[in-house]
């Protein structure tokens, strides 16, 4: 790269933010990230990228800020003069958005407008390229299978409705002001850095803890939901690619393969030598151990290790998502590098290591961390 590029990432402390910051730093960028003020440290995912602000040539800098506060967004954009902005910050939990609908609209919907306006107010619309973290949740009650860029939207949660506003305001600023602004319509992507309350991480973490005797049962909601799951590390590369094109366009990023939540449980358990069979239906469905092989799992044949808790049902559910990434394949050269089985293996191994550490802590007489939601 001839001149060092500058990127600004909102949501840098989240799963994607951490992988993207790592990627951009490896490409020689100066990376600025916005982190929220919190009463506890909230930078675990990017601590390995930390650079002492007291030394010269710092290429990774964190700024306090929030998508609900236009004043700080304008100031940070002005100070950093970014070539690229990646708007990854969001209240990203679909189920929680039913509990906090106004906040979701503010942070995820209006927050996007605030950033676009910051670019415009500062006269940076020709310099700064903008990536919006759009989502397969826009398809909600699906109108077409598989879903592609032209499939009509039908959002099914306050989160998805907020993201729909963000999607269209991004398109509008592109058309109205000639900005290089684009939407990545990303299907679910996971990793060992995934938040613990999203279903994949909840499963891999619980299976590891059940195998080691730290937890008895995993409580889930709708196990029939179907998702197109990829690896977050692969997906952030496409976020970057979308800002390197000649013209801004919107892209679906997905694997084109779909599995159920129930299958994800089976794959995760199998990683530790546990075979689970499901019986019953709806709120009465359970998952019972039918076979244990190897020495990684302590649980016994016949034990019920998965139960349904209707608390996790959503007022309106997205039952099935399956993406068609043809456009991204053709124009961005997108090829998903990780299969679901590889993704599951990586997540289970990571959570098994963490659970082993908790076992040792418990063995030494200390209380092991035990929060399950
Ligand atoms: P995470 O939940 O892991 O990260 C969200 C980030 O946003 C965190 O850094 C969080 O801060 C920050 N944040 C939350 N509220 C605010 C706010 N009001 N102001 C500023 N920052 C805020 O999400 P992912 O990394 O998984 O996802 C990244 C983006 O992509 C999100 O916008 C999400 O909606 C979207 N998306 C994600 C998909 C996925 O499968 N992962 C698929 C499609 C879209 P803190 O760490 O303090 O909580
Ligand atoms: P999703 O992800 O809603 O698709 O949003 P999540 O992992 O929360 O749910 C996936 C599916 O699993 C079902 N489910 C459960 N979900 C959770 N969280 N907890 C449970 O106990 C449980 N049991 C069953 C859900 O009902 C759902 O059908 C994610 C987020 O990253 C969004 O920000 C992003 O936009 C979309 O993916 C694409």
Q: Which residues pair with 320 in a beta bridge?
A: 226
Specify whether 159 is catalytic. Answer: yes
Q: What is the pLDDT of residue 190?
A: 98
What mean pLDDT is predicted for residues 75-102? 98
Counting from 1 in the atom list of ligand 1, the atom nearest the Cα of 159 is 34
Ordered DSSP codes for 238-268: HHHHHTTSSS---EEE--S--EEHHHHHHHH
What domains lie within the chain, and their CATH numbers? Answer: 6-186 (3.40.50.720), 199-226+260-317+339-363 (3.90.25.10)
Catalytic residue among 10, 13, 135, 200: 135
Q: What is the pLDDT of residue 369?
A: 63
DSSP 108: I
Give yes or no for residue 371 having a pLDDT over 80: no
Note whether 351 and 192 are within 8 A (CB): yes
Q: What is the pLDDT of residue 3?
A: 83
What mean pLDDT is predicted for residues 183-205? 98
Counting from 1 in the atom list of ligand 2, the atom nearest the Cα of 313 is 26
Q: What is the mean pLDDT of the chain?
A: 96
Predicted complex ipTM: 0.99
For 224-258, how does the pLDDT look when each residue is reduced to its tens digit (9 = 90+)? Answer: 999 999 999 999 999 999 999 999 999 999 999 99
Note whether 31 and 80 are within 8 A (CB): no
Q: Which of these ranges, 54-63, 160-169, 273-282, 310-319, has the smallest mean pLDDT? A: 54-63
Counting from 1 in the atom list of ligand 1, the atom nearest the Cα of 16 is 25
User: Both ends of the chain: CA-CA distance in Å?
Assistant: 45
Q: What is the pLDDT of residue 249?
A: 98
Say how far apart CA 217 and CA 31 lie, in whole Å: 42
For 120-155, how does the pLDDT look when each residue is reduced to its tens digit (9 = 90+)? Answer: 999 999 999 999 999 999 999 999 999 999 999 999
What mean pLDDT is predicted for residues 270-285? 97
Helix axes 111-121, 158-177, angle to 10 degrees: 20
DSSP 161: H
Q: Which ligand is nearest to the CA of 21?
A: 1
For 322-365, how does the pLDDT look when each residue is reduced to its tens digit (9 = 90+)? Answer: 999 999 999 999 999 999 999 999 999 999 999 999 999 988 99
What mean pLDDT is predicted for residues 286-304? 97
Give yes or no for residue 370 having a pLDDT over 70: no
Q: What is the pLDDT of residue 2?
A: 61
Could you tell me the pLDDT band of residue 366, with boundaries at 50, 70 and 90?
A: confident
Note whether 35 and 69 are within 8 A (CB): no
- Taking CA 302 as the corner, what is the angle to CA 297 and CA 308, rounded to the nearest 5 degrees? 90
Specify whether 135 is catalytic. Answer: yes
Sign of torsion over alpha carbons 59, 65, 68, 74: negative
Residue 289: its H or E element: strand 286-292
Q: What is the pLDDT of residue 52?
A: 86
Question: Which residues are CB-contacts of 126 (< 8 A; sequence separation ≥ 6)?
Answer: 178
Residue ranges around ligand 1 (CB below 6 Å): 10-11, 13-17, 34, 36, 38, 42, 66-68, 88-92, 107, 133, 135, 186, 188-189, 195
């Amino acid at each position: 790269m001839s001149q060092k590029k500058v990127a600004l990432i909102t949501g840098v402390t989240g799963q994607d933010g951490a992988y993207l910051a790592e990627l951009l730093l490896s490409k020689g960028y100066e990376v600025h990230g916005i982190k929220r003020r919190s009463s506890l440290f909230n930078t675990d995912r990017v601590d390995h990228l930390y650079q002492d602000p007291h030394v010269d040539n710092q290429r990774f800098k964190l700024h306090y800020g929030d998508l609900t506060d236009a004043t700080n967004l304008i100031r940070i954009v002005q100070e950093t003069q970014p070539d690229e902005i990646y708007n990854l910050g969001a209240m990203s939990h679909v189920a929680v958005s039913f509990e906090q609908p106004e906040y979701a609209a503010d942070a995820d919907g209006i927050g996007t407008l605030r950033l676009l306006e910051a670019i415009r107010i500062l006269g940076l619309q020709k310099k700064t390229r903008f990536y919006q973290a759009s989502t397969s949740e826009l398809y909600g009650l699906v109108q077409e299978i598989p879903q592609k860029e032209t499939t009509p939207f039908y959002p099914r949660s306050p989160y998805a409705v907020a993201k729909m506003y963000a999607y269209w305001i991004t398109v509008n600023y592109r058309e109205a002001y000639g900005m290089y602004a684009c939407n990545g319509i990303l299907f679910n992507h996971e990793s060992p850095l995934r938040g613990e309350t999203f279903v994949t991480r909840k499963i891999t973490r619980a299976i590891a803890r059940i195998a080691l005797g730290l937890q008895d049962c995993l409580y889930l909601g709708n196990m029939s939901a179907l998702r197109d799951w990829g690896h977050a590390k692969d997906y952030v590369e496409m976020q970057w690619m979308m800002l390197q094109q000649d013209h801004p366009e919107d892209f679906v990023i997905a694997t084109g393969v779909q599995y159920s939540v129930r299958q994800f449980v089976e794959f995760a358990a199998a990683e530790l030598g546990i075979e689970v069979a499901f019986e019953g239906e709806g709120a009465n469905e359970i998952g019972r151990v039918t076979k244990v092989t190897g020495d990684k799992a302590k649980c016994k044949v016949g034990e019920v290790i998965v139960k349904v808790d209707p608390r996790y049902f959503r007022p309106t559910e997205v039952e099935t998502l399956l993406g068609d990434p043809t456009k991204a394949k053709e124009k961005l050269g997108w090829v998903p590098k990780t299969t679901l089985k590889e993704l599951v293996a990586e997540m289970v191994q990571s959570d098994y290591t963490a659970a082993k550490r908790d076992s040792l802590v418990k063995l030494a007489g200390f209380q092991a961390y035990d929060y399950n939601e």
